[in-house]
Chains A and B, each alone.
Chain A
Amino acid sequence: MGTAQSHVEFRGVGKTYDGRTMVVRDLDLRARRGEFLTLLGPSGSGKTTCLMMLAGFETPTEGEIRIAGRPVHDVPPRKRGIGMVFQNYALFPHMTVGRNLSFPLEVRGMDAARRAECVRRVLALVRLDGFEARRPDELSGGQQQRVAIARALVFEPDLVLMDEPLGALDRRLREEMQFEIRRIQRELGVTVVYVTHDQQEAMAMSDRVAVFHRGRIEQVASPETLYEEPEGEFVARFIGDNNLLRGRIVSVGPDTCEVETPGGTVRAFPVHRHRPGDRTVLAIRPERVGLARTGVYSNIFEADVEDIAFLGDHLRLRLDLCGNPAFIVKIPNTVGHGAVLRGDRIRVGWGAVDCRALPDDEGARAVEAVAA
């Protein structure tokens, strides 16, 4: 991916409001033309600040931002030609839907007939034909959301920013809108930079996801890669469920390493260049752990079932294993309800490839301790 293809580019961007705390630091990030890029992170991780800098409402303290190859630090927001969807839609309450949508066209000096045509077209795109005369407060949350998206698209920008646009909707509507936004984005081929703290939303919609943590990007990758190959403890915890085991590297081979944990030695896949004696964190997905009698595993342990939950399509077991008192195992509901009971002693196992040995992130643990 060369610079020529990058639609949006952050180069060494840093931002501080008070001169001491860096809200964003050393940020390098690119979005290709037509890509759906999501900035994902907990609140306060700097993702919204990045979006606001891109929109032009905040100025980077250091580094530069380029749009279509041109630095934009002295371009005011109104001249950046970016469509933006705000957290609470920011539909102008004193204007009808039609006036809201024609506002960006009016300030561009388009004549009334063409404006009406554009408004009609964009309303059809978001499936709200004939809603011109309604007022925003007469619309449901989902309809307001569609109008907000339509307004960000009506002047045909090739870059659209969305700041937690689905946060105010209920779950069902949110999932529907995820598909809707994705459809519109594919239909128009626009580049979307999307901010959310909801990892499922990020996974469902994005071509690539940038995971933010304390002002830095932990990893930028496709949803599959983030899930299957997290590069650090934070991503491993933040994306999906993961069981973490702490231990020390005993030996390192080409594709496997041996790690000593409080419950025994575990064979794992080394993600970084570990050396014997290094501290490490093992990450194992709950659904990759199986009952030992049904598979062949390079790691097999015995543990008591502390708790068990029947969730329809799977059983969720909580084990005390290798020093982790809340080790979760998901068993697909093929063995039948009642095959495993609370208090049973069972044997579970997992493959070395499904157990990633990550560098031990002291910082993440400190944060966790504070949060607890």
Chain B
Amino acid sequence: MARALRSARVRAALLTLPLVAFIGATFVAPLGAMLIRGVHQPLVADSMPRTLARLEGWDGRSVPDEATFRTLASELRSLRERRVLGAVAARVNRVESGMRGALVRTARKLRRASPASWREATIAADPAWGEARAWRAIRRAGERYTARHYLNALDLRRDAAGAVSAQPPERRIYLSLLGRTLAVAAAITAICLVLGYPLAHLIANARPATSNLLLLLVLVPFWTSLLVRTTSWIVLLQNQGVVNDLLVAVGLIDEEERVALIYNMTGTLIAMTHVLLPFMILPLYAVMRTIPPQYLRAAASLGATWRQAFVRVYWPQTLPGAAAGALLVFILAIGYYITPALVGGRTGQLISNMIAYHMQESLNWGLAAALGGVLLVCVAALYLVYDRLVGIERMRLA
């Protein structure tokens, strides 16, 4: 009997195997690889193993010995022949700017030389090699595992002595961007809650026909492509758009003081609120539907004002829905990419847009991965806070 039950359970579990495989292959594995990329950088270490081995015993202050110079020259030459020098140079350059030129120039000048002193010839090819900084850069870039990208993502750096300190003010961008992203996500969540709460209440308490119609209207945006919806906002909000035309026509504003509603933070806020509103309404509706109107009547009959009834009786019971909706909207908002990219202009960009930039344009995947990791930690922290405050088992999605 027990065996039959267990084999039935095993068979049932086997049915989920395709899904598990799918998620593993398309989600868990790439995500893991990406996160690893944030700390794991084998390129330089694999390309210049002998130079790095020589630098292991180096004191970090003086100029290294002749043998080290010789090894560097031979490895640079082979890198150049294998046509991977550019990638390696770019990686070292991220640690110490100017190193790309030094590496490429040195490799070119030394390509056929066989001097008596490799040290002098190398320093002659590029004077940077006469300073310890260049060698430290090589050594740092050669670390297989590095916290550099994470430090970078948090506006920190490692100074010459190896101590962690804040970036100079003009290079601090990510923390403030992260802060702005969190603030925007919080604002969108708040707006969605304020807009969605009464509507969810209306849907939950209307007659079935009305309620179905309203629910349909809430869901209609889901059937429209995100791009179409976002583009419609451009039509509506742009300088010569419907909203501005209307405001001018009504006479609220003059022709020359049209409001900038798009390609800035306002545009991001408006469009993202619209996109994310259903994610607030549906969990709220699911919870409100289970609260009979009798509770409010009971509160009134017991002498409570409308406000007291709402605050003490209704709101606490809708809290799981509100928290679920807020969590959903907030998490979706801090990772949102398309909408801010399309309507955010320069000031309305969020951290995801920066991640996309590093993925697609600067090709600094390590930094992109680190930024993604920071975002992931934010979401996880939020989830834990939610679990502590509301209890995850009480969460009700639609």
Contacts and interface: CB of A to CB of B under 8 A. Distances in A.
Nearest to A52: B297
A93 B317 contact: yes
B307 to A, nearest CB: 10
B298 interface: yes
Contacts, number: 60
A44 B161 CA distance: 87
Interface stretch (B219-227, B308-316, B362-370): B308-316
Given A88-B294, A90-B294, A92-B295, A103 B301 contact: no
A90 B295 contact: yes
B19 interface: no
Nearest to B319: A94
A38 B292 CA distance: 25
B302 A155 contact: yes
Contact of B305 (A80, A88, A107): A107
B300 A88 contact: no
Contacts of B35: none
Interface residues of A, number: 26
B378 interface: no
Given A57-B297, A90-B294, A151 B302 contact: yes
Contact of A90 (B297, B303, B312, B316): B297
Given A90-B292, A90-B294, A92-B295, A78 B312 contact: no
Contacts of B294: 86-88, 90
Interface residue range, chain B? 10 to 19
B299 interface: yes
A249 interface: no
Interface string B277-310: 0000000000000001011011111111100100
A122 interface: no
Interface string A268-305: 00000000000000000000000000000000000000
Nearest to B304: A107
Contacts of A83: 301
B298 A84 contact: yes
Interface in A101-136: 103-104, 107-108
Given A77-B300, A87-B294, A103-B299, 20 more contacts: A77-B297, A78-B301, A78-B303, A78-B304, A78-B305, A79-B303, A80-B301, A84-B301, A84-B302, A88-B294, A90-B292, A92-B299, A92-B317, A94-B317, A103-B312, A104-B302, A107-B303, A107-B304, A107-B305, A108-B303
21 contacts: A57-B297, A77-B300, A77-B301, A78-B302, A78-B305, A83-B301, A84-B302, A86-B298, A87-B294, A88-B294, A90-B292, A90-B294, A90-B295, A90-B297, A92-B317, A103-B299, A104-B303, A107-B302, A107-B304, A152-B301, A155-B302
Interface of B: 292, 294-295, 297-305, 308, 312-313, 316-317
